[in-house]
Amino acid sequence: MTVASITNPIYKVNIIKANGTTYQLQNVTTDLAISQAKDELAQKLTISVVNVKVGNSRLQSLIALKDSVYAYANTGAGYKGVFRGFVWERSLETKADRDEFQLICYDRLIYLHKSKDDYFAKKGKTTKDALTSIAKNWGFSISYKYTSITHGKLVFQQDRIADIFISILDEAKKKTGKNYVFFLI
């Protein structure tokens, strides 16, 4: 039996369908990676799963794009949530000894990487006000609890929403020396 530790976490992943059906992937997962690329807001979960039979169907056929995904890690003090998102891509892989499929999942911030907009703000807008204004225009809320600065004129034309957020946040980080964490509420 594997003992969970900070250097050897034990993961479990649940897929939840719109109708409430839950698939627990803990015993059929062969590989799992959680990542966040530099200059990206969205968190990515890549998971390889054995394509076992569930009733009369294969697991891959039961998991659809947009199904909710929850990942938990146990580092020795019980399971804690480390990822919440949805299935973005899935693909079948045939191994010599078994069929597997891979799920690529993202949290909701992926939509900020796939959408573009124009944004203009006069000189004097704070970091918090600029980000809150953009979020409101796109119909979501953010929780900003970090140091704000006063920005010069902000002009973005057909930029990815994520790039606009990152640019504004990076300017605040550069001037304050303080990091930020970004998530939707």
pTM, 2 dp: 0.83
- Stretch (H or E) spanning 4: none
pLDDT for 16 beyond 90: yes
Q: Would you give the distance in Å from CA 53 to the centre of its chain? A: 28
For the residues 111-120, what does the mean pLDDT come to?
94
**129-181 pLDDT tens trace:** 999 999 999 988 888 888 899 999 999 999 999 999 999 999 999 999 998 87
Digit-coded pLDDT (tens) for 60-109: 999 999 999 999 999 999 999 999 999 999 987 766 566 899 999 999 89
The pLDDT value recorded for residue 68 is 97
Point out the least confidently predicted range of 17-21, 53-57, 142-146.
142-146
